[in-house]
Amino acid sequence: MLTTKSLSHHYGNEKLSFPDLNIRKGEQWLLLGESGSGKTTLLHILTGIKKPFSGEVFIQETELYKLSGQELDQFRGQNIGVVFQQAHLIKSLTVKENLFLAQTFAGFKNNEDRIIEVLTELDIIQKINSYPASLSQGQLQRASIARAVLNKPFLLFADEPTSSLDNKNAKTVVDLLLKLSESSGGTLVVSTHDDRVKEAFSKEYIL
């Protein structure tokens, strides 16, 4: 499903080398390491956001960095969901409009029924026509999750999804990510240094 070979990345004179990774369909993994260990860099490489200095990433039979820029954007939009540490919603667009945009970038037709379905499942349907500035931190994170799972990706990544949340909301977000990945039969990879998350996962990749 997801395999890597000899990945590395450079920041000036500093070289980050990553152990090979082999994740099978439906598995749920934690990517662990202290701040500065390269967790976010690796996550960006695995999702096609940041090209590695060397090495290969395979998602099923597709070698990610052999795709053209446009092919990679569409492949990511259709097959990979990413929950970032910050929501990164466009402030001038409503929640619904932000989600329409995610469908458009993936090459899909706008499907409001799917948006309503996802927002209802995440219990923020009441915010469908709201702007990001009016959402609480927990609601912003749910909207970010909605965008990540909207196109039914078979790979779902989350980068420090609980770092800015209190204990109650952190547990809720982790439970939602697990539930959504299980219900779709997808694969989940969560990057974190938050000890509150560890007990929910059995597979770990440590930097």
Strand-pair category, 22-23 with 2-11: antiparallel
Would you say how long the chain is, in residues?
A: 207
Looking up residue 110, the CATH number of its domain turns out to be: 3.40.50.300
Per-position pLDDT tens, the chain of length 207: 899 999 999 888 888 999 999 999 999 999 988 877 888 899 999 999 999 999 999 998 899 999 999 999 989 989 999 998 888 899 999 999 999 999 998 899 999 999 999 999 888 999 999 999 999 988 998 999 999 999 989 899 999 888 777 888 888 888 888 988 888 788 999 998 888 888 889 899 998
The widest CA-to-CA distance across the chain, in whole angstroms, is: 50
How many domains are there within the chain?
1
Helical H runs in the chain?
A: 39-46, 69-79, 95-105, 112-121, 137-149, 167-184, 195-198
Q: CA 108, CA 110: separation in Å to the nearest integer? A: 6
Q: Per the structure block, which two tokens stand in for 116?
A: 């309503």
pTM equals 0.88
Radius of gyration of the chain (CA): 17
The domain in which residue 147 lies consists of 2-206
Q: CA 150, CA 33: separation in Å to the nearest integer? A: 29
Q: What is the pLDDT of residues 49-94, one digit of tens each?
A: 999 999 999 998 899 999 999 999 989 989 999 998 888 899 999 9
